[in-house]
Structure 1
Amino acid sequence: VVQVICEKAGRSDIPDIDKKKYLVPADLTVGQFVYVIRKRIKVSPEKAIFIFINNVLPPTAALMSNIYKEQKDSDGFLYVTYSGENTFGE
């Protein structure tokens, strides 16, 4: 199981998520996790959503467990930022 903290990008116009902490199955792909996030923020199907890990857009086929191993924080959590735009920050 992967421990994930999910937060909205500062300047994004996408809705806030109702829950920030997730326990994600290790074999879940990034794409499947994005689907989970979409459901939680109730975004319309035509609205794009992007997730960033350390300011990088991860490959959708990557396993969350592999991303976790490579990118987890020293506190044991994987920090994920989501946005309605394909650019981080600005």
Structure 2
Amino acid sequence: MNIDNLVTMANQIGTFYASFPDRDEAHTGIALHIQRYWAPRMRHRLFLHVDSERGEGLDPIVLNALAAHRAGHDAPADNTSVPEDADTGGDAG
């Protein structure tokens, strides 16, 4: 899946959780949604984008959520890659 589509979807999730008054709860909600409902390749690609492009295009709430909850999740190791044309599944939002 194209990184622009992943960024758009992540930002849509962030927009939903941005209305939560508790910022920690919002960050947890974003991270859990991505962890539970995105295919591993989609998550991997998003973390690669955060690492290589500093998450360009991602809303601050999404970047903060990913940073706060990265430990223990399937963030990519430095020596792994996913082909650009890899089947990344989908997300209903």
Per residue, is there more helix in 1 or in 2? Answer: 2
User: Is TM > 0.5 for Structure 1 vs Structure 2?
Assistant: no
Q: What's the TM-score once normalised by structure 1's chain length? A: 0.29
Per residue, is there more strand in 1 or in 2? Answer: 1
Q: What's the TM-score once normalised by structure 2's chain length? A: 0.29
